[in-house]
Chain A
Amino acid sequence: MSVLKINGKSYTIDADENMPLLWAIRDIAGLTGTKFGCGVAQCGACVVHLDGEAVRSCVTKVSRAQGKQITTIEGLSKNNDHPVQQAWQDIDVPQCGYCHSGQIMSAAVLLRENPNPTDEDIDTAMAGNICRCGTYPRIRKAIHNAAEIQRNSTKS
């Protein structure tokens, strides 16, 4: 039995501590925005923030997440308006949308640590997230736009 703090709310997880965080979040906490894509940390569909870092929940055990702040896509912002979410909506980045919870969670960490990323920085930060629909050109554009949204909002 463990307690996980997800998006500011406590969840009692009655499961093996070796269970990957992904399945605890999806099947036990019932938050299905975090996706299963490969199970071996290759695709990034399962990225959540663990104390602010973009960990891959498919290989992260529940035991590692205990006592830490877990943020999933559902908790990234209250109104779907994190600069990355806004930018994603502004230019319709997703096609099928399945990988974009992970894409957005990864991009959010990039923008927090580097408010003015270059194309190379975007490659560095985002090469861990696979999109089979091939939305990469738009992901790149949206991250630049999100940086601008973020800069403008901190100015005002």
Chain B
Amino acid sequence: MTQSRDNDNFSRRSFLKIAGLGGTALCLGLNFISEANAAIIKPHEASLAAIEFNPWIIIDPTGKVTIIDHRAEMGQGSYHSVPQIVAEELEVDLKDINVQFAPGNEKKYGGQVTGGSSTIRGSYKNLLKLSASAREMLTTAAAAAWSVPVSECYAQSGHIIHKPSGKKASYGELALAASKLEAPKEPKLKKISEYKLIRKPLRRIDTAAKTNGSLVFGLDKRIAGLQFASVERDPRFLGKVKSFDASAALNVPGVKKVFKVAMGYYEYKREGVAVIANSTWAALQGRKALKVEWDSSGFEHWSTPDILKKQAELIQTQEGMPLKTQGDPNGLLAKASKKIDVTYQTPYQSHCAMEPLNCIAHHKGDSIEIWGPIQAPGWVQDYVSKQFGVEKEKVLVNMTFLGGGFGRKAMTDYPHEAVAISKEIGTPVQVIWTREDDATLGPFRPGISYRCEGTLENGKIGALKFRMAGQNNDHWRGGKKTEPNRSTSEGFLKPYYESIKNLSISDVLFETSIPTSFWRSVYASTNGFAYESFMDEMAHQAGKDPLDFRRTHLQEERCQKLIDKLEAVSGWKKRKKNEGYGIAITECFETTVGQVVKVSKNPAGGVKIDKVWAVMDCGWYVNPDIIHAQVEGSIVMGIGAATTHQITFRDNVVEQHNFYDYPMPRINEIPPIEVHIMENEADAGGVGEPGLPPLAPALTNAIFDLTGKRIRTLPFSLSEV
């Protein structure tokens, strides 16, 4: 996912005075892209529409505070964390804040792709500053009104209070006066020790709506005149509709229309036949009655054994394109008397968010409106605008809550298809994907093979050489094939570069006609397994304790502290006979996570996971309870990815279908999980994804510790170890 941060560009000109909302509101926004955009705002544009321009915080005369959340809420907690930041520096109660999702508009809101675990780390500094500025402006306005020194006034719970006299004015009363003031250049920010809300485990503001069915996910959205569609798509990406017979489908009561449709994945297309009906059920029944013949010619067909064979051959015969090289790993490995040279394999995976893909679109001729569970509204706007020749400003992308995303809902294919269908029928339409569609059509996390070579020198790593062969997601969007995958080193801890003087990490070009894309923690999810399994193999080769071996090689202070913590909480050194302990530490989106997994023999056969300890160093953070939840969830997803999940292909067609053959972990399979957060004041790192990559290697390292059996291929069955 995008790893770039939003520009740290704080604009005083973006404080707006807007008449609207039944009065005057103080609107504070900041322009993440450039100063130039802020200049577009003119006072006479003050209206509800104008309020949508770039304001992040709106205070209306009643004192109501509205915050615009520029990111999607898909479980990771942005809908809560963004206001928790604002409430702290603005001095308002969280319960008095109303949150709205920003529609797609990257000019206004900056990067809106909810990915790369970037929501907080990309915007918290600006949010803090913006909120503190508003507080100072409101304080100054109050002091002026009361003709008292600003220093005698303070903010609390949406009010400014004059300390000596006890005089009090609400933010609503002060908003107009405050909006006329210049924003302070450098508002005074609280120290971490002064936080009352940030770093506290506050309850999420969106939970109540998730316990009574009132929360609106994409699939729950309803608009007037809505039709329903289900699409029979070619099971092979890049395939074409040769012919179809709609006669039986059209006889299904409720079915109105059947036609060919295509959805774009970047510049590629997937064709299908859409069935339009007056209810979801009728559309699904109509689709069952369809007869479609596909043309699957013109592109290579891959089966999983061929993929694995080809990758294995590539990593044995090709050097690949180096992403990182230092020292002379080849020279050292060539003359090493003893070296380890092993390969690891990881499978393709499907996202399988609980809410299957869906999207509502209304093509109105010269404008397009979209509603749906969307991770990247800006990308949808761009893509749809180009595909239909409608100005970008006239493509309105409305956000709903997402029933999970995991990277899949950052794609623009399903909104594109919905717009294409709406264009054909002229009314709004909701396109529903079945679980089978969602699980089997991709894009998938690519399955990757790794070759890891290493040699020791005086009990430490003398040289390392990593090569990977797997699809590069960037190639689907025009990435250069002459350059290595920039994520080849993802997951690998940067401090290793200091201690391992001879090292290379290379990407061997491997391509197929199977669509791939981001999947939670992206390449760290597979790289982490190979690199941290290999670190364990090197430790054993050196005759060193795997935790101490990492401590020796990760001399950076934060890593040392994290390892100490992990050792202490897991009781690493106190482990008993018949208990297998494994450790793995990975970096993902500027956050380091270490995990220890404890396993034991399962009386029913194989091994069982007894416990997982996780320590996360994400630097500055907002809500520790949300972080705990994200790490718990990442571990559960990681357990499925390591021990169960694998999408396999036969001639480009996926062999799995639904949860009966792509089974999800269930409550009875999940061990106790203990999460710890490192306390420091470093810059914020990501939270939603970094908890996933260490699970698989920590687990297989634990199994090696217990049984002496080294697992180098995922997934593997716990009951068959």
| Residue among B211, B354, B402, B665 making CB contact with A43, cutoff 8 Å | B354
Q: Which of A74, A122, A132 contacts B637 (CB 8 A)?
A: A132
Extra contacts, 17 of them, besides A99-B354, A132-B354 (Cβ < 8 A), are: A30-B222, A32-B213, A37-B356, A38-B658, A38-B659, A39-B435, A73-B211, A74-B212, A85-B212, A97-B209, A98-B354, A104-B211, A126-B668, A132-B664, A134-B633, A134-B635, A135-B632
**In the bound complex, CA of A96 to CA of B434 (Å):** 19
Given the complex, which residues of A lie within 8 Å of B432, measured CB to CB?
Answer: 36
B523 CB-CB contact with A under 8 Å? no
With A38-B435, A96-B403 already in contact, the answer to whether A19 and B281 are too (CB < 8 A) is yes
Cβ–Cβ contact B352 & A88, under 8 A: no
A95: chain B residues at CB < 8 Å are 75-77, 629-630, 633
Judged by a CB distance under 8 angstroms, whether B206 is at the interface is: yes
Task: Tell whether, in the assembled complex, residue B670 and residue A137 are in contact, meaning their CB atoms are under 8 Å apart.
Answer: yes
Chain B residues closer than 8 Å to A98, beta-carbon distance: 217, 353-355, 403-404
Q: Are A136 and B75 in contact (CB under 8 A)?
A: no
Which residue of the partner chain B has the closest CB to A100? B210
* Contact residues, A10-68 vs B (CB, 8 A): 15-16, 19-20, 23, 26-28, 30-40, 42-43, 45
Listed in ascending order, the chain A residues whose CB lies under 8 Å from chain B are: 15-16, 19-20, 23, 26-28, 30-40, 42-43, 45, 72-74, 76-77, 80, 85, 88-90, 92-101, 104, 122-123, 126-140
Known interface pairs A85-B212, A137-B632; A96-B354 also in contact (CB < 8 Å):
yes
- In the assembly, what is the distance between CA of A49 and CA of B74, in Å? 27
Q: Which of B36-74 contact A (CB under 8 A)?
A: 73-74
A134–B638 Cα distance when bound, in Å, is: 10
Docked pose: A131 CA to B640 CA in angstroms = 12
B334: interface (CB < 8 Å):
no
Top 5 A-B pairs, shortest CB-CB distance: A33-B213, A134-B636, A98-B403, A97-B210, A96-B75
Are the CB atoms of B204 and A139 closer together than 8 Å?
A: no
Partner of A132, one of B352, B401, B434: B352
Task: Report whether B633 and A135 are in contact in the complex, using a CB–CB cutoff of 8 Å.
Answer: yes
Partner of B659, one of A27, A36, A43: A43
Contact B211 A127 (CB under 8 A): no
Q: Complex Cα distance A20/B213, Å? A: 19
User: Is B542 an interface residue when CB atoms closer than 8 A count as contact?
Assistant: no
Check B355 against A42 for contact (C-beta < 8 Å). no
24 contacts between A and B (CB under 8 A): A23-B279, A27-B280, A32-B222, A36-B280, A37-B435, A73-B211, A89-B207, A94-B210, A96-B355, A96-B403, A97-B75, A97-B403, A98-B217, A98-B354, A98-B404, A100-B210, A126-B666, A129-B667, A130-B664, A133-B636, A135-B633, A136-B636, A137-B632, A140-B667
B462 to chain A, nearest CB (A): 39
Q: Do B215 and A133 touch (CB < 8 A)?
A: no
Evaluate contact between B219 and A35: CB separation under 8 angstroms: yes
A30-B279 Cα distance, complex, nearest whole Å: 12
Q: Is B22 an interface residue (CB 8 A)?
A: no
A residues near B292, Cβ cutoff 8 Å: none
Q: Residue of A at shortest CB range from B219? A: A36
B665: which A residues are within 8 A, CB to CB? 134, 136
Which residues does chain A contribute within 8 Å of B635, judged by CB atoms?
134
Contact A89 B211 (CB under 8 A): yes
Output the nearest chain B residue to A58 by Cβ-Cβ distance.
Answer: B435
Would A127 and B668 be within 8 Å (CB), given that A16-B253, A45-B354, A101-B213 are in contact?
Answer: yes
User: Once the chains bind, are B353 and A132 in contact (CB under 8 Å)?
Assistant: yes
Q: Does B216 contact A (CB under 8 A)?
A: yes
| Given contact pairs A96-B75, A137-B672, A130 touches B659 in the complex (Cβ within 8 A) | yes
Interface string of B197-214 (1 = CB under 8 A from A): 000000110111111111
Contact A36 B211 (CB under 8 A): no
Q: Which residues of A contact B220 (CB under 8 A)?
A: 26, 32
A45 to B: closest C-beta gap in Å = 6
Residues A138 and B667 in contact, CB atoms below 8 Å apart: no
A64 CA to B552 CA, complexed, in Å: 66
Cα–Cα distance between A23 and B354 once the two chains are bound (Å): 17
Given contacts A27-B279, A38-B435, whether A133 and B213 have CB atoms under 8 Å apart is: no
B-chain residues with CB within 8 Å of residue A30 when the two chains form the complex: 222
- From residue B305, how far is it (CB to closest CB) to chain A in Å? 28
Separation of A90 and B660 alpha carbons in the complex (Å) = 33
Contact B632 A130 (CB under 8 A): no
Chain B nearest CB from A76 CB (Å) reads: 7
User: Mostly helix, strand, loop or mixed at chain B's interface?
Assistant: loop
- Contact in complex: B212, A76 (CB < 8 Å): yes
- List A contacts of B75 (CB < 8 A): 94-97, 133
The answer to whether A139 touches B215 (Cβ under 8 A) is no
CB distance from B349 to the nearest CB of A (A): 12
B74 contacts across to A, CB distance below 8 A: 96
| Contact present for B207 and A88 (CB under 8 Å) | yes
Which residues of B394-410 have CB atoms within 8 Å of chain A's CB atoms? 401-406
Q: A37-B356, A137-B670 are in contact. Are A72 and B404 (CB under 8 A)?
A: no
Complex contacts, B405 vs chain A, CB 8 Å: 96
Report chain B residues within 8 Å CB of A26: 220, 280
Residues of chain B in range 423-464 having any CB-CB distance to chain A below 8 Å: 432, 434-435
Q: Are B213 and A34 in contact (CB under 8 A)?
A: yes
* A42/B636 in contact, CB under 8 A: no
Q: For B636, what are the chain A residues with a Cβ–Cβ distance below 8 Å?
A: 131, 133-134, 136
A28 and B279 contacting across the interface, CB-CB below 8 Å: yes
Smallest CB separation, A2 vs chain B (Å): 14
Interface residue B673 (Cβ < 8 Å from any Cβ of A): yes
B625 at the A interface (CB under 8 A): yes
Residue in B204, B222, B434, B659 whose beta carbon sits within 8 Å of that of A42 in the complex: B659
CB proximity to A under 8 Å, residues B76-105: 76-77
> Given A30-B222, A32-B219, A39 and B213 touching (CB < 8 A)?
no
Q: Looking at A32, A33, A80, A98, which has the most chain B CB atoms within 10 Å of its CB?
A: A98
Across the interface, name the chain B residue whose C-beta is closest to A27.
B279
Do B213 and A88 touch (CB < 8 A)?
Answer: no
Question: Closest residue of chain B to A131, judged by CB?
Answer: B354
Q: Which of A19, A89, A104, A136 contacts B667 (CB 8 A)?
A: A136
Within 8 Å by CB of A136, from B77, B207, B630, B670, lies B670
Tell me the nearest residue of chain B to A76, going by C-beta. Answer: B212
Chain B residues contacting A101 (CB-CB under 8 Å) are 213
Complex: how many Å from CA A102 to CA B89?
Answer: 38
**Distance, CA A90 to CA B355, complexed state (A):** 24
Cross-chain contact of A97 among B206, B219, B632, B633 (Cβ < 8 A): B206
Give CA–CA (A95, B632) in the complex, Å.
11
How far does the alpha carbon of A72 sit from the alpha carbon of B216 in the complex, in Å?
16
Is B506 part of the binding interface, using a Cβ–Cβ cutoff of 8 Å?
A: no
Q: Which of A39, A96, A100 has the largest count of B CB atoms less than 10 A from its CB?
A: A96
The yes or no answer to B634 lying at the interface (CB within 8 A) is: yes
Closest to B202 in A: A92
Please give me the residue from chain A that is nearest to B630 by CB atom: A95
CB distance from A149 to the nearest CB of B (A): 13
| Residues of chain A lying within 8 A (CB to CB) of residue B353 | 96, 98, 132
The chain A residue with its CB closest to the CB of B351 is A132
Counting chain B CB atoms within 10 Å of each CB, the highest count among A20, A32, A140 belongs to A32
CB of A123 within 8 A of CB of B354, answer no
**A123 touching B279 by the CB < 8 A rule?**
no
CA A123 – CA B215 in complex, angstroms? 27
B352-396 interface mask toward A, CB cutoff 8 Å, 1 = contact, 0 = none?
111110000000000000000000000000000000000000000
